[in-house]
Copies of this chain bind each other. A is one copy, B any other.
Amino acid sequence: MTNNYSIPKEFLFAVIDAAIKYDNRNDIAIIYSKNPCVAAGVFTKNVVKSPSVVYDMERIKYPIAYGIVVNSGNANTCTGQQGMDDVITMSETVKTGLKISDGEVFVSSTGVIGVPMPMERIIPAIKRGIDKIGEYTLMDAAKAIMTTDTFPKIHSKTFIIEGKTVTISGITKGSGMISPNMATTLSFIITDAEIEKSALDNALRQSIEQSFNKITVDGDMSTNDTVLILANGACGNTVIKSDTLEYDVFKQALDEITMSLSQMIVKDGEGATKTICIELNGAATKSDAERLARKVADSMLVRTAVYGNDPNWGRIMCALGGAGVAFSPYKVDIFIGKVQIVADGLGTKMDAEASKALDVKDVNLRIDLREGVYNAKVFTCDLTEGYIKINAHYTT
C-alpha cells in the first residue's frame, strides 16, 4: 500500500535533518509546486492553536500557493509571539530561496508543545533543502513528518479526466492526540488537477467528514491538526467546477485518498495491535448515530476488551447508555464481525464464536439500535500496554 504511488506533475520535494528532536533522521520536509496552485485547508478546532495553524488559516484565503514547509519533533505551540515570528521566518526563507513572490508557502509543525523552535538549526536546514529541491520523493516527505508513527503513510490515485491522467497523492502522520470533532492530524494532499479554489475547498471539507473526522485514537484533539491540499493544474484539464461530472470523479478519488490515509493513522495508533470499526445503525437522528458511535469508540473498556479478544458486550451497552442519547436497551442488536452477540438487548451466548471474531487485525463492531434510519461509522484501534509505554515517557 505504501510502496506504490504516483507523484502529481510539477511537484518537487526536499527533506533535511535539522536535529530538532530525533537523532539521525530527516525532520523537515518541503513540498513545492513549480506551477502556482490553488489551496484548501481544514484546521483544528482546539482553542489552543499552534501559530503555524493561525498563520495557515489566514493565508489559505489567498488565491495562490506554492508549497508547504513542515517539521516534526516540535509543535511550535504555546510559544507566544516568538512562535509566530518563527512561522513567518520559515515561510519567508522558503519563498526567498525558491524565488516565490506571488503566492503562499504554508507552515506546519508537529511534536512536543511548549518548547521554542531551534531556529538556529531550522533555517540553515531549510536553506540546504532548497538547494536540493527535487532530489527527494514524496515517500521521503512522508517519513520526515513522522513522530511516534511506526510506518510512513502515503496513498495516491490516478484517474482520467478529458483523456488526461490526473494524480492525487497524500501523506499523513499519526498517532496520538487523535480524536474526531476536528480536522485531524497533519495531512498534505497534492494534485495536478486544474480545479477552482471553491470547488477544491468543498471537496476537501466533504471528504474529511467521512474520513479524518471519523477516527479517534485517544479522544484528545491536537493543537496542530491540519489537512492541506494543493492543486497545481499541471495536467492541463479544463478547470473543474463544483456540481459537474468531473467534480464527482475528482471527489471520488479524493475520498479514496482521505479514507486510506485516515485508516492508516488508526492502524498505526499508538500501541495498537488492531483497528476497530464501530458501525452504528438505526439511530433516530444523524447526531445520535455519531454521538453513540464515538462514545463506543472512545471507551477505554471497549478498546481493552477488543485487545484481549474478550467479547465483553456489556461494556458496549454501558458505553451506549452513557452517551446522553435516549434509546431502548431492549431493541439493541450487536454483532462482532458476523457473530450476533446481543439480540434485543440480551446476550446470545455466542461468546466463544465472538472471541474468535475479535482475534483478527480488523475488528468490526456493528450495533443496530432499531430506533430510526440514521447510521454512522467511527474508526479506532485497541488500547494496549504499548500506548501507556509510549505516552508515559514522551518529552523526557
Contacts and interface: CB of A to CB of B under 8 A. Distances in A.
Contacts of A327: 47
Interface string A69-86: 000000101111000000
A362 interface: no
Nearest to A217: B300
Given A46-B321, A48-B321, A314 B220 contact: no
Interface in A322-355: 322-323, 325-327, 329-330, 342, 345-347, 351, 355
Contact of A388 (B46, B223, B383): B383
Interface string A300-329: 110011011111111101111111011101
A392 B220 contact: no
A327 B342 CA distance: 44
What does DSSP make chain A's interface, helix, strand, loop or mixed?
A: loop
A364 interface: no
B218 A310 contact: no
Contacts of A393: 308, 310
A36 interface: no
Contacts of A112: 312, 314
A77 B221 contact: no
A115 B46 contact: no
Contacts of A314: 75, 77-78, 112-114, 223, 395
Interface residues of A, number: 69
A220 B329 contact: no
A176 interface: yes
A116 to B, nearest CB: 9
Contacts of A244: none
Contact of A355 (B45, B355, B396): B396
Nearest to A329: B48
A362 to B, nearest CB: 18
B388 A384 contact: yes
A222 interface: yes
Contacts of A391: 300-301, 304-305, 308
Contacts of A184: none
Contacts of A176: 301
A394 B322 CA distance: 20
Interface of A: 45-49, 75, 77-80, 112-115, 176-177, 179, 182, 218-223, 298-301, 304-305, 307-315, 317-323, 325-327, 329-330, 342, 345-347, 351, 355, 383-385, 387-389, 391-396
Given A113-B312, A219-B298, A304-B387, 16 more contacts: A47-B322, A47-B323, A48-B318, A48-B320, A80-B345, A80-B346, A112-B312, A112-B314, A114-B342, A218-B300, A221-B321, A223-B314, A300-B387, A309-B396, A312-B394, A383-B388
